[in-house]
Amino acid sequence: AALGPVPFRDLCGVRPVSDVTTRSADNKLWLQRYQGTWVLESWVPGIMAIQRSFVPRRGDVVLGSPPKCGTTWLKALAFANMSRAAYPPAHPEHPLLRLNPHDCVPFMELLFATGTRKESKMNALPSPRLMNTHMQHSILPASVTTDQNLDCKIVYICREPKDMLVSLWHYTRRALPDVSSFLDVFEPACEGKCLCGPIWDHVLGYWNASKASPEKVLFLRYEDLLSDPVENVRKLARFVGQPFSVSEEEAGVLMDIVRLCSFDKLKNLEVNSADPSSDFANDWYFRKGEVGDWANHMTPDMARRLDAIVEEKLSGSGLSF
């Protein structure tokens, strides 16, 4: 039987994702409208290639998220979970102790962007494959989304939109020095224009899919993961068809995974530390890891405005933040 996913970097010798490669030559973040969604211009070729040629396989798990909603954490948790037979989470040489989670789980848009050479790397990955995307549900290929195809499952994570925007602003500011004011991110986002936005469409697409087909799409929230990581990791394991056995629970395997992937543990690893010699470093993925940081950046009026927009967009869906 397959032992679970292998770190992409170990298999392919290259970094599967560096968000910084999405920086354009003139150092600007160019958003492009693509089939009703806002995406980075540099991701479009990859998205088109995914739509054209991604063939799901039995056992595939696609991690979906808007940026800055806990993608790195979900990658770590899903990887540690699915590969626990090969890499026990308490092992002193666990891959997540020497590799950033983005080195373990490839980012589809960039992987497919560079054409067949990398695409074939995706095809060469042994099953079960684990990968992530920021694409909205509406633009995923039908081969991935069709309810009948349970071979390929989707685990989605979202986050309270105000906190997501604050996190996005901090991240973008580090990548692009010309983004200075929070309003540069906030104002367009209220109109729906932000990376992978509109935010409400991103969340609603996966929410509706998870309601229609709960065995196909698992819908998680960053805040729930923070308040009860154990129960959510248990849910994740069950969903991907690898529930924890009684003996694993008794041996503390689940707790070991939660500890290994915790903010403090990952942030303080050498591989995830700041690198002053580079214009990008893994520490960018680990900032505060808290709920409610929006209050340090938004006035009550701004918060009310975004809350009202989101509430209106989500009304009738059964989803709220």
Residues near ligand A3P, by CB under 6 A: 65, 67-73, 163, 167, 170, 261-263, 266, 285-289, 293
Q: Which is nearer to ligand A3P, 72 or 232 (CB)?
A: 72
Task: Enumerate residues 6+ apart whose C-beta is below 8 A from 267.
Answer: 283, 286, 289
Q: Which is nearer to ligand A3P, 59 or 195 (CB)?
A: 195
> Using an 8 Å Cβ cutoff, are 105 and 5 in contact?
yes
Please report how close the Cβ of residue 57 comes to ligand A3P at its closest, in angstroms.
25
Please report how close the Cβ of residue 157 comes to ligand A3P at its closest, in angstroms.
8
Does a cis peptide bond (omega within 30 degrees of 0) precede residue 276?
Answer: no
Please report how close the Cβ of residue 281 comes to ligand A3P at its closest, in angstroms.
14
> Using an 8 Å Cβ cutoff, are 63 and 206 in contact?
no
Please report how close the Cβ of residue 321 comes to ligand A3P at its closest, in angstroms.
15
Q: Which of 102, 134, 137, 297 is catalytic?
A: 134
> Using an 8 Å Cβ cutoff, are 188 and 194 in contact?
yes
**Between vectors from CA 23 to CA 284 and to CA 134, what angle results, nearest 5°?**
70
> Using an 8 Å Cβ cutoff, are 82 and 128 in contact?
yes
Task: Give whole-number Cα distances, 78 to 8, 109, 241, 273, in Å.
Answer: 14, 19, 12, 22
Q: Which is nearer to ligand A3P, 59 or 197 (CB)?
A: 197
Q: Is 134 one of the catalytic residues?
A: yes
List of E strands, 150-284: 153-158, 217-221
Task: Give whole-number Cα distances, 194 to 39, 66, 107, 183, in Å.
Answer: 8, 10, 19, 12
Q: Which is nearer to ligand A3P, 54 or 73 (CB)?
A: 73
Which of 197, 191, 200, 206 has its CA nearest to residue 34? 197
Please report how close the Cβ of residue 27 comes to ligand A3P at its closest, in angstroms.
20
Which of 65, 34, 159, 47 has its CA nearest to residue 112? 47
Q: Which is nearer to ligand A3P, 59 or 101 (CB)?
A: 101
Question: Which residues carry out catalysis?
Answer: 134
